[in-house]
Amino acid sequence: MLDSPFFPMRLLDLSVIIAYLIGITWFGGRFRDSKQSLKDYFLGGRNAPWWAIAFSIVSAETSTLTVIGTPGIAFRGDLGFLQVVLGYLFARIVIVTLFLPHYFKGEMYTAYELMQRRFGPNIRKLTAGSFLVLRSLAEGVRVFAISIVISIILGTGEMSSILLIVALTLFYTFEGGMEAVIWTDVIQMVLYVGGAILSLVVMLQQIPGGLDHVWRTAEAANKLRIFDFRFEMSQEFFSRPYSFWAGVIGGCFLTTASHGTEQLMVQRLLSAKSQIESRMALLGSWFVIFFQFSLFLVIGLILYVFYKDTGRPTPEVMDRVYPQFIWDFLPHGVAGLVMAAILAAAMSNLSAALNSLASTTVMDFWKPLARKDRSDAEYLQIARWVSAGWGAVLMTIAILAREVKSVLEYGLGIASIVYGALLGTFLLGVLTKRVGERAAMCGMAVGIVMNLYLKLGTNVAWTWYVLIGTAATFLVALVVSFVFKERECLS
């Protein structure tokens, strides 16, 4: 017992973490009484201010993958990931221009209702089903990433770690719906960004020479490079994930797909009071995400210099570098606060996934296929239990994901397989009139097969998947549309 990771001084860290877990669960559960309808449960009653939605967007695209994976990228490489983040900005401009005007025509609960309006019910089910598969697989990997942090804190097994966080997050998501998700997101984002800043300050104090020494050492190791403009049409060009071309173009396509077609993000955009506020939330979120990624990359550089200067052996798994350093070297109390911040990012993303999976299941499958009419109160209860069901699914996938080497890149790679087909189909919906439902479904099938081939049969970097899948989906559907004469459905 005396050798346990939380006795005696670790009791302070553990107390901070437990206080956070109890506090955030209690806070989220307080929103239960305001949930009277599906609009309240899935869209938060459209009462949240734009800045809160902006923070929620950042929290939804940030997870434990980002917090523990991004420092590892800089630790073993350089700052080239910021090229991908630049692509995130271009994507947001595309979304507010092309997609938002369509989403705010009428009252929508999910992104895939737009597909039924444009093409028909079958493509709505196909796109919604693709999202369910995509989000459950990607989120399962993210849930596994949580267990890395908890196992460091408590020395517990992975299964018990996964069960603890999923159960607590599910509680307030089950009770409070989207409003609870948004406002807990705001608190959690402030906590994990604040925790990262605090850890950075404390880490610099442990390095003689401070930030200036870090900068000079990183520069000597060529770790300050952001842009890689090398351009040569070769296999090597397409296998580098963080070149300027792969980063900006790939990041743009990736984020246009994730924020413009995936219910996880679109649900937040639909929760805004108006299209203008939705636009402000999406564009404003980029400045926060840029600061955030820059912060975690700099932390990676500091960790590199620390381990280089001290000669300490680095953890075999890069994703353990940051949380292991926090737990081993930060002062008691500070370590607990920063670990709580990492758990905040995890719970924030998980709650968003649970609510979006439930909204898509209920609104795109259960309700359209129901044989009898139900009241809003009945559907509200169904939505809560569907959320619980998805919680069990994510725990199962997380347990199966324990062999993953880099949770950040693996999670993005999974997402990119389906994103290309989804984005290609949505672009067909808003940019063409000729293409009908059967042609769109053919294009989408080819896009998914193409990305599966890229993932399993080539060395092409994940940053190219969405662009290639989008192009394949769009072009194949256009060609097929000349074979099938179909009625336009867009109203």
pLDDT digit string (tens) for 83-131?
A: 888 889 999 999 999 999 999 887 788 888 988 888 888 999 999 988 8
Helix ranges, 330-375 (H): 334-361, 367-369
| CA diameter of the chain | 75
Q: Which residue has the higher pLDDT, 409 or 18?
A: 18
What pLDDT band is residue 5 in, cutting at 50, 70 and 90? very low
Round to whole Å and give the CA distance between 245 and 408: 20
Q: What is the pTM of this model?
A: 0.80
pLDDT digit string (tens) for 237-261?
A: 566 666 677 778 888 888 898 899 8
Q: Which amino acid is present at 155?
A: G
Return the ∠ at Cα 413 (arms to 189 and 252), rounded to 5°.
Answer: 70
What pLDDT band is residue 443 in, cutting at 50, 70 and 90? very high
Round to whole Å and give the CA distance between 84 and 256: 12
Contact in structure between 14 and 153 (CB atoms under 8 Å): yes
* Two tokens, residue 478: 């256009």
Round to whole Å and give the CA distance between 63 and 180: 18
pLDDT digit string (tens) for 279-295?
A: 999 999 999 999 999 99
> Could you identify the residue written with the tokens 């880490």?
203
Query: Which CATH superfamily groups domain 10-29+46-106+124-370+378-405?
Result: Sodium/glucose cotransporter (1.20.1730.10)
Residues in contact with 23: Cβ distance below 8 Å, sequence separation at least 6, in sequence order? none
* Two tokens, residue 196: 């990262």
Query: Domain residues of the chain, as ranges?
Result: 10-29+46-106+124-370+378-405
Which of 474, 415, 418, 469 lies closest to 443, judged by CA? 474
Round to whole Å and give the CA distance between 92 and 255: 7
Residues in contact with 373: Cβ distance below 8 Å, sequence separation at least 6, in sequence order? none
Contact in structure between 395 and 162 (CB atoms under 8 Å): yes
pLDDT digit string (tens) for 142-193?
A: 777 777 667 666 666 667 777 777 887 887 777 677 787 888 888 878 887 8
Which of 129, 48, 42 lies closest to 380, judged by CA? 42
Which of 273, 253, 257 lies closest to 111, judged by CA? 257
Question: Is the pLDDT score of 6 beyond 80?
Answer: no
Q: What would the mean pLDDT of 70-83 be, rounded to a whole number?
A: 84
Please name the helix (run of DSSP H) or strand (run of DSSP E) that holds residue 423, with its range, or none.
helix 407-431
Q: What would the mean pLDDT of 432-459 be, rounded to a whole number?
A: 88
Question: Is the pLDDT score of 404 beyond 70?
Answer: no
Round to whole Å and give the CA distance between 98 and 427: 9
- How many CA atoms are closer than 13 Å to the CA of 96, on its beta-carbon side? 18
Question: Is the pLDDT score of 410 beyond 70?
Answer: no
Residues in contact with 190: Cβ distance below 8 Å, sequence separation at least 6, in sequence order? 55
For the chain, the C-alpha Rg in angstroms (whole number) is: 22
> Could you identify the residue written with the tokens 């998914």?
448
* Two tokens, residue 162: 């996964």
The overall average pLDDT reported for the chain is 81
